[in-house]
Structure 1
Amino acid sequence: MSSRSALAEPPVAPQEEHPVEPVSHAGRLVSEHDYWCRYYSESDIRYEWNDGRLEEKPVSNYGTLLALAWLAELLRWFLRSEPVAQESVPDMGFRLALPDKTVIRRPDLALVRRDNPQPLLPLDASYHGVYDLCIEALSDLSQADIARDTETKKAEYAAGGVREYYIVHKEREHLAFFHLDPDTGLYRPIAPEDDVIRSEALPGFQFRIADMVAGTDITELRHDPVYNDYLLPAWREAEERAKAEAARAEAEAARAEAEAEARAEAEQRAQAAADRATAAARGRTEAEQRAESEAQARAESEAELARLKALLGNKHDPD
């Protein structure tokens, strides 16, 4: 065997692993049971179910998601002041049994009024009733995506009995707000007044479109007449809660400090008592040692005296 062949082969560099893109099953025919069991909780791809067929939910752009987040935060402030509804979690699905088909939709944001016969329950993974307000962040990646929210879902939500439907986008021309007409069963647009949208499903909730598009800091709007009816009470309540929490924290800190000082004083007293006990024990030991030394000295003196007496006695003995 040659020396070359005896040498070990150089190690092969490991191949860099590329992330595997999730495979979309959009368009696949699946039963409703399989959808709930296998696809509803899919982590990488969000699916909705349209009468037996999977539909992949498209992604909205960042600016549109910011507009949605602004509206969601404003709704939470409103519900603090007027707790007339429950907020669902994003993408919580609900089932619509429509006259011509059955669909399962997952709105980006949804609310359930307190008088809805089907409340949101703590253990719900999907909503078992019909939402009162659905909000979708429009995806404009394709004309089909736009039509999905502006036509298909609009018709489904109206037929299913969703009271209000908002389509949110970062640009005004794609915004749309609808209220269900109980006489026709169709959506009618909510016409803005002075650029303000007023909800009928949530009486008292209103907002200025320009503020949503611009993402105006909500903390700056509490004295604005469009918002102050619900922002100011909620703000004052939040401030009072914050003050109460601060007072409780301060009282707790003072109590903890007092307890620490009391413990320190008790420890100091205990240490002083221990030092006194140690000193007393040391004093007793020293006294015992002195007594023992004195006793030993006396014994030695007595022995010496006895010895001297015996010596003198022997000197006076006539024998």
Structure 2
Amino acid sequence: MASFVYKSDPVRGRVWAEIFARQAPQLDFRIWPDIGDPAAVRFLAAWEPPPDIRGLFQNLEVLFSSGAGVDQFKFDELPSDLPVVRMVEPGIIGGMVEYVSWAVLSLHRDMPQYQSQQREGLWKTIQVQPAAKRRIGVLGLGSLGQAVLGQLRGFGFDCAGWSRSRHQLEGVQCFAGADELPAFLARTQILICLLPLTDATRGFLNAGLFAALPAGASLVHVGRGPHLVEADLLAALETGQLAQAILDVTDPEPLPTDHPFWRHPKIWLTPHIASMTQPETAAEVVLENIRRFEVGEGMTGRVDRGLGY
């Protein structure tokens, strides 16, 4: 019997096991480190694959990421012919849309300032700006970026997006490539980072980028910690070039207890909880991708090794 090995959170793994038992009884579902016969393993879902993956699983046919990203994978250590598939499932998308909506609405309605005023015992109103006059910009137009923009458009925000490749999205001003990045940044008051982490995007959120935003802009960072140059963010907040930052990702995670982000008055920090894989829908998505693989159809979320996502 062919087998499927799950190497991630064992609590979620038990939910996967129940779903596989009902829907794919022909697969022997195993939770790491109980791998059974290594030669029988055709499919592996993991956050971090084991070392020497081909040596351990000689007949492995597909590697699934148990999360939305694959930047934790060391591609130079993976067989070049092994398909790698990232997680694209409704739970991840829904969670990200909720978190970014909360963050953008909090910034739009001046909640950081009101929180500060509360601590000071100050009762003072701030003029409300219509959503249509607030310019939102999303870095990264993959499935998460597009879903976030769809929700923010519904609130009436003036929305734009930027990515390496050209996109066309209804009601969204789309920018593409390095040449169009300055214009995208110049019109963006609340910047949302949803970029994949690659060599090209590491350190992308830096002093030069912050300087290209309008003075007093804000940042919502829900990509990956290494996108951000921390010293540049602190400097931009100090000068007022940035008014506020909401960060769900850092480098490292967790931050040291003496890190300045923890107590910075202009930073809201959450522990990488913007979106989480939901085991019920994740297992369904993986099973559908296995079905597609078996009949020769393209798998949803298959990674382009050249792009890194």
- Bin of the TM-score, shorter chain as denominator length: under 0.3
TM-score (norm 2): 0.24
TM-score (norm 1): 0.24
Computing the radius of gyration from Cα coordinates, the structure with the larger value is 1
Structure ranking higher on relative contact order (CA contacts 8 Å, 6+ apart): 2
